[in-house]
Structure 1
Amino acid sequence: MASQTEGTPIWADAMFADVERAKSFYGDVLGWTFGESSPEFGDYTQAYVDGKAVAAVSPPMPGAEEAPAAWCLYLASADVAALAPKIRDAGGQVLMGPMEVGDFGSMVLASDPSGVVFGAWQPKTHQGFELKGEPGAYAWAEVFTREPEKADAFFPAVFSYSAQQMSDEHVDFRLFNAGEETVLGRMRMTPEDFPPEVPQYVNVYFAVEDCDAAVAKAAERGGVLRFGPMTSPFGRFAALTDPEGAPFAVIDLTTTEGDMPQLSDVA
């Protein structure tokens, strides 16, 4: 597989106190099957769609048992050792690494200046997502933050993104581009929509064939609908939390409505 552009989403995983419950939930909602766990890597277990790797789940690391369940998005990097000082110089924190993960690759776990956690992955044998944009696979992600000015400065400084701002007086939304590809969104969290106890995070979207059916299945299995479903120019989507409390979103990319928003380049 060809190397991915710096800053392109490359992988997603989550830690769950009850891994078997999480596997059952996502298996039903997204159609995932699971491989064998890897005891030498903390019982890390990959999820598959049609035999292609799309994500992974694992129990919490020792010492992190009380941490809330959350999805972590990893961004591609050609050199995570060189990326770590860039993260610090831009005002972020390196939470773990840089570290090698067997012969799979190398990683850094970090946060932006407002505390939004993300990862960076330098692939070796593990090249990341083997499927994207298809039902059950990763589709999109957005940084949800109460301090957009910090994210807007940080991510382009670290990953050399260019940026475009959506022209909408009701929504503060920005797109980050790696080269010619739009790879990540940034959404301002408003007090009206996000109470103070909701942490800032990266909202990971998984593609589904039918958004409403996925929402119904998630609710049946103990998930909670937080927003939607609603149809946009990008697809019909909904935001949820799973039974462990991890936020995520589902999107039917084939059901669209309305005109694409006006965007303006950001200097």
Structure 2
Amino acid sequence: MPTPDHTNGAPCWIDLMTSDTGKAKAFYGELFGWTFETGDQEKYGGYIMAEKNGKPVAGMMQKDEAMVGMPDMWSTYLRSDDAAATVQAASHHGGQVYLEAMDVPDQGRMAMIADSTGASIGVWQPGEMKGYGLAADPGTPAWHELHTTDYGTAVKFYQDVFGWDTDVMSDTPEFRYTTLGAGDTAQAGILDASGYLPAGVPSNWQVYFAVSDTDAAIEKAMSMGAQVIDGPDDSPFGRLATLADPTGALFKIVAETAQPGADAGPQGT
């Protein structure tokens, strides 16, 4: 798979906020073949970079005391040419600001917001660090998907704030789905999840990782303390499953059977 082309507004990075970086490194290192490099504590707060085949694919960070009670979770970051302007636009269009745009020395600028339906999403303005260097290969990010309780509001938010050029993949009461881009060039999806998200569960972004064999990956993950939340299920986009890692962070896996840009699809999980 060639180096991803991180266009403005598209997913460009993922990271894990975890209660146990040691467990996370052992788990994902074995499951996906990742290696790790820990950044300087003073400069980068001990941020851990995960690599696959020598290229960055994800980050990890130890949760601090202020995050006690918050679940471990994966986050998706969307690329921005101007993180501060994106934060301002998000606030103007009904979002919330969790973290104002801040410098990451030599690497870029980041921010953390919630969209107008309450889903947390990161913003990344690249400097030296452009984003993940591999995608859709086994052990790398394959797809990014927003499960939202307010579909129409969410679609408009990403159009207005991140400049998404959207395509309606389906618009029936049973299955409403919009993508950033169309067909094989699609880079992310928005799913109407109002019919299945339990009360009290907010809209949320979900990350898919490519694997070569979904069932084998499930077996391996379970042997290391993961739980299967949903699946495996066959779909036109590949064989899919939702897992929780040993500390409870949710993620999805998909067999490498789809075309780039359509590696995963909507899942009512």
**TM-score, L = length of structure 2:** 0.87
Residue 255 (structure 1) shift: 6.2
Structure 1 equivalent of residue 266 of structure 2? none
For residues 104-115 of structure 1, the aligned pairs below 5 Å read: 104-115=107-118
Conservation of the 8 A alpha-carbon contact between 1:38 and 1:45: no
More displaced, 221-230 or 102-111? Answer: 221-230
5+ residue gaps, structure 2 = 260-269
1:186 pairs, out of 187, 190, 195, with 190
Q: Which amino acid aligns with 1:116?
A: A
Give a deviation string over 1:221-259, Cα, whole Å, max 9, x none.
222212221222222211112122211101112269xxx
Q: State, as a whole percentage, how many aligned pairs show the same letter.
A: 36
**Which of residues 214, 234, 238 in structure 1 aligns to 2:237?**
234
Letter in 2 for 1:221: M
CA drift at 1:62: 4.5
State the secondary structure of the residue aligned to 2:86: helix
Judged with a 3 Å threshold, the aligned counterparts in structure 2 of structure 1 residues 137 and 127 are, in CA distance, closer, same or farther, namely same
Number of equivalenced pairs: 254
**Which residue does 2:250 correspond to in 1?**
247
Distance, in Å, in 1 between the alignment partners of 2:192 and 2:250 is 16
Return the match for 2:69 from 42, 66, 70. 66
- For the pair 1:162 / 2:144, whether they are aligned, the reply is no
Is the CA contact 1:231–1:255 (under 8 Å) kept in the aligned structure 2?
no
* Letter of the structure 1 residue corresponding to residue 110 of structure 2: M
CA RMSD of aligned residues (A): 2.1
Aligned to 1:30: 32
Greater Cα shift, 32-41 or 75-84? 32-41
SS in 2 for 1:125: coil
1:96 has 2:107 as partner: no
Q: 2:55 aligns with which of 28, 52, 57?
A: 52
Give the partner amino acid of 2:8: E
**Alignment match, 2:262:** none
Matched, 1:206 2:209: yes
Shift of 1:77: 0.7
The offset of 1:71, in angstroms, is: 0.6
Q: Which residue of 2 aligns with 1:176?
A: 180
Q: Given residue 101 of structure 1, which amino acid in structure 2 is its aligned partner?
A: V
AA of the residue aligned to 2:220:
K
Inter-CA distance 124–3: structure 2 relative to 1 (3 Å threshold)? farther
Query: Structure 1 length as normaliser, TM-score?
Result: 0.88
CA contact (8 A) 1:42 1:59 kept: no
Aligned mates of 1:226, 1:172 — CA distance in 2: 23
Q: What is the distance in 1 between the residues matched to 2:52 and 2:238?
A: 21
> How far apart, in 1, do the equivalents of 2:145 and 2:250 lie?
12
Provide, for residues 142-168 of structure 1, a one-character-per-residue CA deviation record: whole Å limited to 9, x for no partner: 001112122111111111112222145
1:196 to 2:183 alignment: no
Residue identity in the other structure for 1:126:
M
Retained in 2: the 8 A contact 1:105–1:126? yes
C-alpha separation between the residues in 2 aligned to 1:241 and 1:35? 24
Q: Is the 8 Å Cα contact of residues 4 and 132 (structure 2) preserved in structure 1?
A: no
1:186-235 Cα shifts (integer Å, max 9, x gaps): 112245x4322544211101111111111111222222212221222222
> Equivalents in 2 of 1:32, 1:230: separation in Å?
26
CA–CA distance in structure 2, aligned partners of residues 148 and 184 of structure 1: 14
